[in-house]
Chain A
Amino acid sequence: MKFKLVSSLVSLVTTAVLTVATPAQADDSLNAVLAKKSIALGVASDFPPYGFMGPDFKLTGVDVATAQLIADKLGVKAEFVPVSTPNRIPYLQTKKIDLIVSALGKNPEREKVIDFTIAYAPFFQAVFGPKALNIKSFDDLAGKSIAVTRGTIQDDMLQKVAPPTLKIQRFEDDSTTVAAFISQQTQLLATGAAVAAAAVQKNPQVQAEYKLLLKDSPNFIGVRKGETALLTKVNEILRAAKADGTLEQYSQKWLGRGTGVLPE
């Protein structure tokens, strides 16, 4: 009974796939964007100061500003699509968005599935925790609990360097992860420096401070594999913004620090 259901479901899916023709992977996003005069930009909506809701309930932040810059330079309308870390790559792959501009870090696993532009903003991931807790090295994490967002660079790093007795609790988006830490459901938090700084500033009762560096991993923009025209154009815009100081300006305004040396 059950097997028949399984096999008929599998064949149903396969038939659906075979009967619907899908276009082959093409290098036509840039043309499509220019033609329809708008670009779909995946940004964070809950991740201050990179992408978040201001008091006027409009999206703002260093990523949102950079994304708007790209749209302006391309001469098209910016369509912001809120994404979270776990869903942004699937969204890009399935063409719901044309670019990922949401505190995206580069790592080998991601490079297999998407392409990256040059870096545009600094970002380092670290472990944060209460002042009372003494954490000097990764071994001190043993037996503690830490909140992290699923599929992030921090998630990868923790799996590589943390002791096995560390209880890693993975949440679906960055804001929920921070909320879990602030409500002290976990003892520690692994996230971006500026994010933690913003959260700590609003919640002095948590008494959190920076503990351990996980990775110094600046923000890159994510592009679908094979979209070389779009990739080249965006890199051009970013390099120009770097040269004329716009990126430095954004970094100072939102992150309170300079960009430092941003890798290519």
Chain B
Amino acid sequence: MIEFDFGVVLAQWPMLAHGLVLTVALTLASAVLGTALGIACAWARLHGGRALRSATSAYVEAVRNTPFIIQLFFIFFGLPSLGIRLSVEVACVLAMVLNLGAYACEIVRAGLQATPKGQLEAAMSLALTPWQTFSRVVLPPALARIWPALVSQIIIVMLGSAVCGQISAEELSQAANLISSRTFRSFESYILVTLVYLALAMALRQCLNWVGPRFIFTSR
């Protein structure tokens, strides 16, 4: 008869907490930087010169058509042969930022393209500079429009960060691995950590949906 022993796994909660903190930190850092990168790339694809548009498209297609684990391995194991050696955490954040950036670019671009013509005309007639038009008239409503899609993508990247344990980052999935090594209780460790991820995904969605309207695209 199989017996489950969650007790011995729960006793390792400090390791779990440590992993959770790192996952949250990685997610927040990459959410902020990745979204910024996405906005920059979306702008580049819409308003940039030919070279910039091609370069951005190439980047977006490269990231969206290859698995995240390969991007991560490339950055962590491959770049050192070019002399670029990044620490584990930096490699993780870089990979996550580049990953989110590519998807965010497309999401934000769709939001920007849906800007009503009237807004742009009104901004011009008010003699706003292009930067003012973009940052105050076009971007906030665009973000409001695509916020649910962007939040979903951030959560996808957060869940994808589980792979970072493969390059020894001590995030949540690695905590599951370490706990199962110590206790020899694989199934219990993974179930527990999966539930934590589920709770984290729900909490993150609530949090971002609360933050968005209040701080990112406040309607005046």
| B contact set with A: CB distance below 8 Å | 1-2, 4, 76-77, 80-81, 85, 88, 165-168, 174, 177-178, 180-181, 184, 186, 191, 195, 198-199, 202
Contact = CB atoms under 8 A, between A and B. Distances in A.
Interface string A109-153: 100010000000000000000000000000000000001001100
A170 interface: yes
A172 B177 contact: yes
Contacts of A170: 168, 174, 177-178
Given A86-B181, A180-B168, 7 more contacts: A9-B195, A13-B191, A113-B184, A155-B181, A170-B178, A183-B76, A185-B76
Contact of B85 (A13, A14, A89, A185): A185
Interface of B is mostly: helix
A262 interface: no
Contacts of A150: 177-178, 181
Interface string A2-25: 100110010001100100001010
Interface in A161-193: 169-172, 176, 179-180, 183-185
Contact of B166 (A13, A14, A172): A172
16 contacts: A13-B4, A14-B4, A24-B1, A86-B181, A90-B180, A93-B184, A113-B184, A147-B168, A150-B177, A150-B178, A155-B181, A170-B178, A183-B85, A184-B80, A185-B77, A185-B88
Nearest to B81: A183
A171 B165 CA distance: 8
A180 B78 CA distance: 10
A185 B199 contact: no
Contacts of B168: 147, 169-171, 180
B29 to A, nearest CB: 20
Interface size on A, as a range, is: 20 to 34
Given A22-B1, A169-B88, A172-B166, A6 B195 contact: yes
Interface in A200-251: none
Contacts of A2: 198-199, 202
Contacts of B180: 86, 90
A180 B202 CA distance: 35
Contacts of B77: 179-180, 183, 185
Interface string A82-98: 00001001100100000
